[in-house]
Structure 1
Amino acid sequence: MSSTSSKCQEGITASLGYLALEAGQLSVPTDNKLLDTLAECLSTFVNIFALEDEEKALSSPSTLETVLKSIFDNENEVFVMEDSLLLVEGLSDQERLSLFLQAVTGMAMVFQHLSLSGATMTPSALERELEIFSEGDERHEMLEKVEASRFLTACYDKKDLGVYLMKIVEDEDEEEDITPENHNHNLVTSWSATKQTINTDSDEWDSSRPCKNMGLPWGFTILALN
């Protein structure tokens, strides 16, 4: 494993430490906001990679939002970025977990991209590299793979999950260790949801950004904000 890959794995492993694991089910603790937990994860990746960053582009208060916007599609980022109780209470434990794992895996891919680019880190360079990542197919494929992962419904070892996420980062053919036969779980769950419309007149909704090609995560129901 290369030095960059080792750092990605270290960041993923450290981030998974924020998850609770009980009776084969992972969950994101609700005592902290998801955004606050992801801020800690981003700080972990920044410290592990220790990229040359004289202008402190990666330490800027706005960096978390910029990174998350490069990872998620417009339709989904609102669930990570907004503090609205209507949105937060509308998420199931599995949906929160999916968003968390997508964010962490995306961060690993972002820092891998930044490390391999060799670019001198400045705010403009960071913005440019994130835009390249955001428009790439690998980002979309990562979101789909995490969303479809059986680890969302059954996990017995965080280490296995970390290895699985790292395979997604490396774009390897991943095979999950957990199988329905081994653990007698129905790990493939069918989700359905009625999609409603978010009030696009809300000052908090950013409609200026181009919409990327991905719909809502499974199970999400958009609540109208009046």
Structure 2
Amino acid sequence: MCSGGFAKCLGISLIPLAIVCVLCNILLFFPGGTSVDTDHITEQVFYFGGILGSGVLMIFPALVFLGLKNNDCCGCCGNESCGRRFAMLSSILFAGVGVLGAGYSVIVSAVAINRGPLCLVSINNTVEWMHPFSNGDYLSDKASWSECLEPVDVVEWHLSLFSVLLVMGLIQIALCAIQVLNGLLGALCGDCCGCCGESDGAV
């Protein structure tokens, strides 16, 4: 497969991942599937890891990867393949942007999972909104989840959506890292389906 064609496959894969991340981040604004005051929403949700990091910032490299296969490069600098080589090289920069965006989402998600959700807790016959889990120990102690009185099932909601963001972010990082290698190969070796091959076939 041509380096440009392979990049297009990566771009096609990144778009649905970005959409899923945006949707997950939006759903996190409704803990437990209910509407609550903004003061009762986990702080990490407002960092927009899924919307900005794995969402908006991921759209740019995805679109660039999609356009590499159809890049019109013939005649650049007197060399039919140099335009495509430059396009593959520039895609590395956009892949770097994707890695940074997805990395930001992964960090935010990991912190949120470790800290746990913000919920209503009963302490000494009084109820207050707080983070009852100081670290990630609650992950292996499902019985402790009952400490969160409201919103209902907020722990499952919080853990599931941030876990999806974490996994999607790691996949995005892997795909962008692959494009870095693919871009280097395309820049150094040229696209196997480049303009030279096309012009030769037309003769």
Compare the two structures and name the one with the higher helix fraction: 2
- Name the structure, 1 or 2, with higher relative contact order (CA <8 Å, separation 6+): 2
Please confirm whether the aligned pair reaches a TM-score higher than 0.5, indicating the same fold: no
TM-score scaled by length of structure 1: 0.25
Higher Rg? 2
TM-score scaled by length of structure 2: 0.27
